[in-house]
């Protein structure tokens, strides 16, 4: 589970062997969601407040998330992304 960001107790990570479409995962308070990078579509459940923060962060970092997704496809190291402040 390569962690790429952490903020407000939310852990953001990507998996190297994951499937399309490009997405990332978020964990918070025992909940886990997958979030599509482009559309923001969510699979799983998490508090509305946490989802709102994840979505705000996603909008700010789409380009960096897509670059990390390309790295997962090539099995390269992922870059850390600044947290939501």
Note the pLDDT tens digit of each residue in 26-76: 999 999 999 999 999 999 999 999 999 999 999 999 999 999 999 998 889
Q: Is-above-0.85 flag for pTM?
A: yes
In a domain, 81, yes or no: no
Total domain count, the chain: 1
Note the pLDDT tens digit of each residue in 13-23: 999 888 899 99
Q: Which residues of the chain form beta strands (DSSP E)?
A: 3-7, 10-13, 23-28, 31-36, 42-44
**Domain around 48:** 3-73
Residue 1 has pLDDT above 80, yes or no: no
In a domain, 79, yes or no: no
In a domain, 37, yes or no: yes
In a domain, 85, yes or no: no
**Rounded distance, CA 53 to CA 66, Å?**
19
pLDDT recorded at residue 81: 98
């Amino acid at each position: 589970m390569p962690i790429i960001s952490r903020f407000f107790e939310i852990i953001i990570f990507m998996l190297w062997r994951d499937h399309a479409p490009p997405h990332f995962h978020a964990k918070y308070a025992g909940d886990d969601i997958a979030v599509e990078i482009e559309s923001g579509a969510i699979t799983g459940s998490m508090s509305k407040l946490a989802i709102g923060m994840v979505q705000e962060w996603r909008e700010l970092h789409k380009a960096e998330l897509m670059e990390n997704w390309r790295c997962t496809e090539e099995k390269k190291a992922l870059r850390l992304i600044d947290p939501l402040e």
